[in-house]
């Protein structure tokens, strides 16, 4: 079985697209993807040899879509605040805030007064609680399993799946 090799730029582009939709609901343009790729060598947040297995798992899990990214982000916020995932999300958020195509998202203020604020806060709070519960149910067993695996064990996963999505 032959696998098509993907370079790091393709992986970072796919990651940027997935995280952009999670953070703002907006697609990333070429400028954002380019800046995201350029920042990685300077920040060192993608150094695979420095990432632990659980850290790498969390990042790969979050790359799979908006809901997974939210579950992983909520979990890492409370239990693993120094995770690579959080660093990557913060980097992308800063790039999006400075981008001409997405800065309006950050500049727009909420309108509608206190009632609208509370009507929007309640569903978000429920969503947060559900993601928190899902993270608590899923990630601790994964952590234990990854710790129990031998040091040289590498899972046989094809990274091609999320690059092409």
Tens of pLDDT, residues 62-114: 999 899 999 999 999 999 988 999 999 999 999 998 888 877 777 776 667 78
What's residue 119's pLDDT? 87
pLDDT higher than threshold 70 for residue 10: yes
| CB within 8 Å of 62: residues ≥ 6 apart | 18, 19, 22, 68, 69, 72, 73, 85
Q: What is the largest CA-CA distance in the chain?
A: 59
pLDDT at 163 over 60: no
Q: Please count the CA atoms within 13 angstroms of the CA of 51 that sit on its side-chain side.
A: 19
Would you give the distance in Å from CA 65 to the centre of its chain?
A: 8
C-alpha 58: how far from its chain's center?
A: 8
pLDDT-derived band at 52, boundaries 50, 70, 90 = confident
Provide the 8-state DSSP code for 28.
-
User: What is the Cα 110 distance to its own chain's centre?
Assistant: 25
């Amino acid at each position: 079985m032959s696998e098509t090799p993907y370079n790091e730029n393709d992986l970072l582009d796919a990651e940027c697209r997935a995280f952009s939709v999670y953070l703002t609901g907006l697609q990333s343009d070429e400028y954002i993807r380019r800046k995201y790729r350029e920042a990685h060598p300077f920040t060192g947040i993608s150094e695979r040899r420095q990432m632990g297995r659980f850290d790498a798992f969390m990042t790969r899990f979050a790359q799979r879509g908006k809901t997974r990214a939210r579950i992983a982000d909520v979990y890492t916020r409370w239990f693993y605040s120094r995770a690579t995932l959080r660093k990557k999300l913060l980097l992308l958020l800063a790039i999006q805030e400075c981008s001409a195509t997405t800065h309006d998202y950050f500049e727009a203020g909420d309108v509608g007064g206190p009632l609208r604020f509370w009507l929007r806060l309640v569903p978000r709070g429920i969503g947060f609680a559900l993601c928190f519960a899902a993270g608590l149910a899923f990630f601790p067993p994964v952590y234990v399993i990854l710790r129990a695996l031998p040091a040289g064990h590498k899972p046989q996963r094809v990274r091609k799946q999320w690059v092409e999505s």
